[in-house]
Structures are given as C-alpha cells and as structure tokens.
Amino acid sequence: MKVLVSDNISDKGVEILRNASLEVDVKTGMTPDELKACIGQYDGIVIRSATKLTADVIECAKNLKVIGRAGSGLDNVDKAAATSKGIVVMNTPGGNTITTAEHTIALIVSLVRKIPQATQSMKSGKWEKKKFMGVELFDKTLGVLGLGNIGSQVAKRALGLNMKVICYDPFLNEELAGNLGIKKVSLDELFAGSDIITVHTPLTHETKYIINKDSIGKMKDGVRIINCARGGIVEEVALYEAIKSGKVSGAALDVFEKEPPENSPLMTLDEVICTPHLGASTHEAQENVALAVAGQIADYLVHGTIRHAVNFPSIPADQVNTLRPYIDLAEKMGCFASYFMDEEVKEISIELRGEAAEIMNEPVKIAAVKGFLTPVLEHTVNFVNATHIAKERGIIVKVTKNADAGDYNTRVDLVIKSAKKDFSVSGTLFSKKDPRIVAIDNYIIEVIPEGTMLYINNNDRPGVIGSIGTLFGQSGINIARMHFGRETKGGMAVSVVSVDGNVGKDILDKITKLPNIIEVKKITMNG
C-alpha cells in the first residue's frame, strides 16, 4: 500500500510508515492541481495544515482509505466529503496540548511585562525604563473560555503563578472545576470578572466572534485578551477599536482571521504582541504528532485498527453497513441537541427502539455523545475519546432498549438532562439509511438534519411563516426546506428552516424581532 506525505513532518514519522512495509512518497508544497493529479494512487495521506483536502481533491482520491492529520485542527479537510467516500479521517488531539498551553502562558507574561516592546526599544539603542512599566500576575483573575485539554493545562499553570482562575464551559461539571481550583461561571460573569481573558475553543458558528464589540463592552476597563486557539474567535476590528479607545489595554495573538494577516490594523498597535501561529511549534510537539499520526495510519492500513478517528468508530467489518446509518443518525441527533443546552449537563440518555434495539448499542452511544460534544470541543473529541470526555465532565451516559418503536419500524430517542431542564429529540431512518428527526421535545416534526438550519419557536398565529419568508427573500437567503410542528392549535409551535449558505447575527436579530417569535437558534450539523 502507498502513503503520501504532503506536508513536512518529522523523519521519524516517515520511518514508522516505511517500517510497517508501506511505500511512502514525500511530496511537499504541491499545488492543488498537482495534488489532484497524483492523489488517486495512494491509500493513505499524511498532512499538517498546509495541504487543503477539499471536496474536489477528495473526489480524485479513488483509492484513499485514510487521512491522517499531524495535529488536531481539521479546518483544511472536507470531512463530509471524506465520510461520504468511506475515508477515515484521523487526527492527533493530544500532541499539541502542552506546547500550546506553554505558549499561551508565555504570551500572557510577555504582554503584562511588555517584553517584546522593551526588547525592540533596547535594540534600537534606547533605555526607556519608565515607558515599559508592567503589572503583576499575582492575584489577578484569568478567565479561561473553554476548559478542554489546552484550557485546563493553561489553568493549571496560571494557578501555579498564584492567579485566580475562572472558566466558562457549558458542559463542564462544576464539582470537577472546583476540584481543580477553578470557579465555573457564566459567560457574562467571565467577561465582567477577568483581568485577562484567554480563549481555548474550536472555531464554530457558536464561537465565531464570541469576543466582539458587545462582549468587550461587558469586560473590565483595561482587560487583556489572548488568543492561541483559532482566528475568527476574536473579532479583530472590534479588538482594534477597543484598544484604541483604551477599553482593552493590550492583546497577544498567535492566530488571525486571515493568515498571514495582510494590512491588519492590529499590527500597527504597540499594545499588541503577536506570533505567527507558533502554538504547536516546538520540536517535541512536532515529533509527537508525527509519530502519533504515522502509527495510527500504519495500524489502520496494515491491521485495520482505527484510533482517533473523527468520523468513524471502530466496529466489526461485517456490521458496517447496518450500523453506519444509525451512527450517522445518532451523531446528528447529538449535535442538534447540543445547541439547546447552555448549562451543566448531568446525563445523556439514549433509547434504541424497534429494529434499533437489535443492533450493537456501543457505536450508537459513542456517536450520540460525540455529536453532542463536537460543537464545543470540535478538534478534541472523536469516536475514541467521546465517552471518556463525557465522564471527565461528570456526564452520565445511559443506553436502554425497547422493542416498541411506536409508529416507526426503528427509532432512536435521545434525552439530555441538566439540573434545570430536559431536552429530547427522536430520530428514525427512512429507507433504512436516510436520517430524520421526527420529534423535538413535545413537537412532532419531520426534519432532514443537514447543513445550516434555524430552529424557530413561535406562537401559532397567522402570518408568522410569511413574515419569515419575506425577511429571507429581502435578505437574499434561499430557503431549502421548512418543517413545522405545534402542540395545539393556537398554542406554541416550532419551525425548522434549512437554508442555503450562512445566516449572520444581523438576520437572526431581525427574525427575533418579528411578531410572535419567541426564540431563534442557528444550528449547523457536524461536518
């Protein structure tokens, strides 16, 4: 079997692949057309961030069985296209954890003590001691937005510096946070209470521009902002304006909305220090991820063992065709439910009913948990570690079976429980392969769970649907599908609207202001 290494990785990783009797070609720096021309001959490919495996590239990958990312982020891989072709996509989620956490701490210290600015001043022949007065980290409050692998390591190091640490993470168990010496707070409490804010979340529709003009307005005067996660989590124009006004005293950035940043006004500010996406750039980290991804690809191609796959669990080969549709359904249901829970989750309950009660339940359970956690922990969670992460966060996962599927031959029920509320969603398979959501809480409704959808909770009154359609028409947004459900005539109702393309916050705000609209949520399916 042949493996293509299309980005630079450690020679030790290449050696692992060759020692597994795999034929390896190292071809870095290829153009998209060059990659399309050669990828069809390979069974596996190893990438970092430079290679872009878009849908049209994957379409040319006639023999490709596995994609391995030396690192955690998979923004450069079309996971949906890979999954549809049966290609396993793997990453190495833990390899960059320590190095990125250390880089975050380095930026925090550099920012508060103005080390880069002082260095530049001295190298220009100046001695400006008074100009570079700093502040202590001792007893300051660090707000950690996202307490996953990297965020928790940053928090531990900040505690070692005698900082107070607060965090926002909707799925984190409050008791576990307390055991770490960290106080779990709401997002607004984190904004209001932090002297320094560091973000450690994936870039999703929920986290894009989570640091924006409005959220900065809720922060302390003189707050400092750190981003070593993903460009686009911090709205750069809003950050620039806040620094210029004095609201934000400084920022340290390792990632940017566009990389490399071109003509960014942030680069003109003395209060901003920056590095060129160096979070994972240590010899140790690069060797760790190279060794890990090479071992994973070798194990899969030679032995059929799947490790750290983001799009497929390990299941017996003779059951793949039966289980794959249920895995897809459960993952989509979990993802859908995630958008309705913004507080600590206590339990995830899955009930397999009818024909579903006769299948292996473990892959379906894992898929539901992975789907639920993915919108918050996109690059960290996969089919291998999903249930472990849930356990770490104090979430109990239960599976039951019931021979009765009601009006359906097969059905999967998912209930998410918190201290304050339960949320339920039910799904089935049409033609034994096409996933459908058939109930949301008390509403009977048929939804095709794919792409971008708007969940609209409204009073059942005439004109609601017309006003939504008119608004979309005026905004140039095409409606692909609309699904409706209601409890009783004239009571509460829901609409799930599938749209082509993205819907921005401005449109959501306009919908919310329409008559009889109670709630609007934008939902984006995994992949």
The tally of CA atoms less than 13 A away on the side-chain side of residue 281 is: 10
Q: Is 259 a catalytic residue?
A: yes
Please say whether the beta carbons of 203 and 229 come within 8 A. yes
Residues 6+ positions from 242 with CB-CB distance below 8 Å: 213, 216, 248
Indicate the DSSP class of residue 359. S
- Catalytic hit among 48, 69, 224, 230: 230
Backbone torsions φ then ψ of 271, nearest 5 degrees: -80, -5
Q: Please give the distance of CA 443 from its chain centroid, rounded to a whole number.
A: 28
Backbone torsions φ then ψ of 178, nearest 5 degrees: -60, -40
- Catalytic hit among 128, 259, 284, 358: 259
Please say whether the beta carbons of 202 and 230 come within 8 A. yes
The full length of the chain comes to 527
Q: Please give the distance of CA 104 from its chain centroid, rounded to a whole number.
A: 19
Backbone torsions φ then ψ of 72, nearest 5 degrees: -100, -40
Q: Please give the distance of CA 411 from its chain centroid, rounded to a whole number.
A: 28
- Catalytic hit among 277, 347, 446, 487: 277
Q: Is 461 a catalytic residue?
A: no
Structure tokens at 420: 């304050």
Q: How far apart are CA 491 and CA 499, in angstroms?
A: 26
Cα–Cα nearest to 456, from 437, 436, 435, 482 = 482
Q: Is 69 a catalytic residue?
A: no
Which residues are known to be catalytic? Answer: 230, 259, 277
